[in-house]
Amino acid sequence: MNDENQDLYTNFKPLGEHFRAAFEEQSTKDTLFYDEISNVHDRYQKDTEIDHGGMKQVSRYSDRFTMREIALAELLDSDSPANIDRFIREARLTASLQHPSIMPIYDMGLNDDGEPFFTMKLFQGLRVDEWREKIDIRKSDSFQEMMQIFVKVCQAISYAHDNGVIHLDLKPENIGVGAYGEVLVFDWGIAKIIDDQDDSPTASLLDPQVYNDATLNGVIKGSPGYLAPEQIDSKYGAKDERTDVYALGGILYFILSGHKPIKSNDDLMESLNKTINGDIIKPSKMVDFAIPESLEAVAMKALSTKSENRYQSVDELLSEVNLWINGFATHAENASFSRSLVLLMRRHKDITLMMALMSIIVIYGIAQIIISERRAVKNEQEAIAALELYKTEKEHSKQLGKEVAPYMVNDLLKELSESSTYDFDKALRIAQTTVARDPDFSDARLVLGRTHFVRQEFQLALETLTSLTENQRKHSKIFDLAKKYGSMKSDSELLKTKDLINLMNELKHMQMSFLMAGFAEQKMNDVQDKINIAEYMLKVTNKLAAPTMNLKIKVLDNEALSVDLSDNPQLTSVSGIRNLNVKILNISNTSIKITLDLARMPLETLIIKKSKIPNIHELTKLKGLNTLVIGTNDYPRFNKRKNLNGVEIIRQ
């Protein structure tokens, strides 16, 4: 190396050392967060206890990975395998529900002692009961705020139901309201997947032996005051979406009155008895200020003792609440014409005022014409004013037509669900008229599309549904099914029986399946095809009895039928055959208790030996029934009667 190169190396060597040191320092800074996490041994650091109940304790923790405050739930009794499974089930079930108003689950695992835990959002706010106590409910703004909270709760529960989960413990204490208006539904500990069987048979909570040993974490699953009758005793029906509707009715009752719907002075037995007896005082009787009659009617309907008398879904309840929010009368209120007119005028104050002013102008003009016929110019002005009034009234009539459309949709749904014999032609006319009144009303178009679908007019259904947005169509299977089965036939033809059954299997919608079966049975000429469809519906509505179902059908004169369903102990419903021309029916030794579907059949002879129908007095009122056959020892109360309400009673 010459002298010149030696000098260059000597000058640059210190600079290279500086570069190396700088890179090493930068590398250390680049891994600062990684080093911090890798040195954490206990990710969750406990702060303070927040709350504890019958099964778990919830505490405030710091998550040292994400550097945020969280809530961590731990099992109190980890010695019970059943409690452990129930605890893990709650965490997984809640984690599966991704909704802004449902408590989010962050993580779950086992601690150093092998005990399960799960983490969730640290909620900082007030429970609904605390929130209501904080505000002045008599102020319109405060009340509207409470109703918006209730709407968010309904939307969250509707989402859970759509995902196959029912809460079963809804109450104000299990709903939180944050400082910025966010709403969270929590404590899904006794939630259940719809159509799942309970872990054990539900004992009657009114049995003293059960009552004396009952605990809120044991037999009584739920909160007294918001429990539905079917949660107290399974004889009042199965727990389903309508059980949550009952609890939501209780929450609405609490919002209106500040009280639970069941008053019991902390006496559990009294509370349970009042619940099953429907001993509920109207909210308006509990306060000294006026509350909306519409919402009171909604709350009382949701709190009906019989689940079939409640709203059949949370969406139906939410629709009623939205009617009130938007200034309409609720269906539960059964509003008079004058009440509906007052609400209409409130919704359209500007239009009402304008019409009143126009009317005054017209009256004034007519008076001036009578006083002086010579005022030609004034007459012309009044004529112009009258023409403008006509245009206004015509536009207002059009507006009224749009507002009538939702009621016509409801009339159509009522016609199809409550009529003993489906009038599909009338249903189509109502649906078409509703769309004509308000072409922009998407619900009306959806109902018209469904009506065409039920009538197997798949091409017309596609034409109607295509006009809806993709977002409106995606929640309904019928669009894709109409494409598939519309390619098999024209709208003037019927599907083959096997294809119709395949369609109903894919549809998986009980009410629409009943409607499709009813339409097909009305239009089919072959009795055997009608029987095949009815047999399918019978098995769908009796899943437990279906595998071993005993069914004998005999064709009598004039295509009348004799149906023998005896000796099917697990048979609970005959709704599948209600559209058939059944003259003779044998349901001996079955579990049928409800007689509603029997009233829809043209029965002449009914055999009910060893039946679970509680009272034969109602049966004797069935139109057209001539003969009722019962067992020798059945219904001892009527053992001396050979004729009741004109019906011959035979003992065999």
Q: With contact defined as beta carbons under 8 Å apart, do 424 and 519 qualify?
A: yes
Region of residue 590 (left: phi > 0; alpha: psi -120 to 50; beta: else): beta
**Cβ neighbours of residue 526 closer than 8 Å, sequence gap 6 or more:** none
Give the C-alpha separation, 231 to 205, whole Å: 9
CA distances from 457 to 510, 516, 537, 626 (A): 19, 11, 21, 40
Side-chain-side CA neighbours of 608 within 13 Å: the count stands at 22
In this predicted structure, what is the pLDDT of residue 329?
Answer: 75
Whether pLDDT at 74 is above 70? yes
- pLDDT single digits (tens) 450-485: 889 989 999 998 888 888 877 776 656 888 898 999
pTM of the model: 0.49
Whether pLDDT at 152 is above 50? yes
Whether pLDDT at 186 is above 50? yes
Whether pLDDT at 419 is above 50? no
* Count of other CB atoms within 10 angstroms of residue 586: 19
The torsion angle over the Cα atoms of residues 444, 446, 452 and 458, rounded to 10 degrees, is 150
Give the C-alpha separation, 558 to 645, whole Å: 27
Tokens of 124: 């900082």
Output the DSSP codes for 472-503: HHTT-THHHHHHHHHTTS-TTSPPPHHHHHHH
Whether pLDDT at 345 is above 80? no
Give the C-alpha separation, 61 to 45, whole Å: 5
CA distances from 560 to 421, 538, 563 (A): 17, 18, 10
In this predicted structure, what is the pLDDT of residue 341?
Answer: 53
Whether pLDDT at 547 is above 70? yes
Q: Average pLDDT of 442-446?
A: 81
Whether pLDDT at 628 is above 80? yes
In this predicted structure, what is the pLDDT of residue 407?
Answer: 47
Per-residue pLDDT band at 120 (split at 50, 70, 90): very high
Q: Average pLDDT of 75-82?
A: 86
Question: SS3 of 552, please?
Answer: strand
More confident call, 48 vs 153: 153
Whether pLDDT at 16 is above 80? no
In this predicted structure, what is the pLDDT of residue 642?
Answer: 81
In this predicted structure, what is the pLDDT of residue 405?
Answer: 46
Whether pLDDT at 581 is above 50? yes
Fold classified for 126-342: Transferase(Phosphotransferase); domain 1 (1.10.510)
Q: With contact defined as beta carbons under 8 Å apart, do 135 and 146 qualify?
A: yes
In this predicted structure, what is the pLDDT of residue 24?
Answer: 54
More confident call, 16 vs 327: 327
Just give the CATH number of 44-122: 3.30.200.20
- pLDDT single digits (tens) 215-267: 344 455 678 889 999 999 989 999 999 999 999 999 999 999 999 999 877 78
Of 4-18, 103-117, 181-195, give the lowest mean pLDDT range: 4-18
In this predicted structure, what is the pLDDT of residue 375?
Answer: 67
Give the C-alpha separation, 482 to 631, whole Å: 49
Whether pLDDT at 394 is above 50? no
Q: Average pLDDT of 337-346?
A: 54
Longest dimension (CA), the chain: 136
Compute the mean pLDDT over every residue in the chain, rounded to the nearest whole number: 81
Give the C-alpha separation, 246 to 311, whole Å: 9
Tokens of 388: 């403008």
Q: Average pLDDT of 394-422?
A: 49
Share of the chain above pLDDT 90, in %: 37
Of 22-26, 54-58, 617-621, give the lowest mean pLDDT range: 22-26
From the list 115, 103, 111, 254, the residue with the least C-alpha distance to 184 is 103
Domain boundaries along the sequence of the chain: 3-30, 44-122, 126-342, 544-652
In this predicted structure, what is the pLDDT of residue 332?
Answer: 66
Per-residue pLDDT band at 274 (split at 50, 70, 90): very high
Q: Average pLDDT of 590-594?
A: 87
SS3 of 56-103: the string is EEEEEEEECCCCEEEEEEEECCCCCHHHHHHHHHHHHHHHCCCCCCEC
CB-based burial, 172-190: b 16+ in 10 Å, e otherwise: bebbbbeeeeebbbbbbbb
Share of the chain above pLDDT 70, in %: 78
In this predicted structure, what is the pLDDT of residue 202?
Answer: 44
Of 22-36, 272-286, 496-510, 629-643, give the lowest mean pLDDT range: 22-36
Tokens of 140: 């319109």
* Count of other CB atoms within 10 angstroms of residue 476: 18
Question: SS3 of 208, please?
Answer: helix
Q: Average pLDDT of 517-523?
A: 88
For residue 191, give the amino acid letter: A
- pLDDT single digits (tens) 161-176: 999 999 999 999 999 9
In this predicted structure, what is the pLDDT of residue 231?
Answer: 93
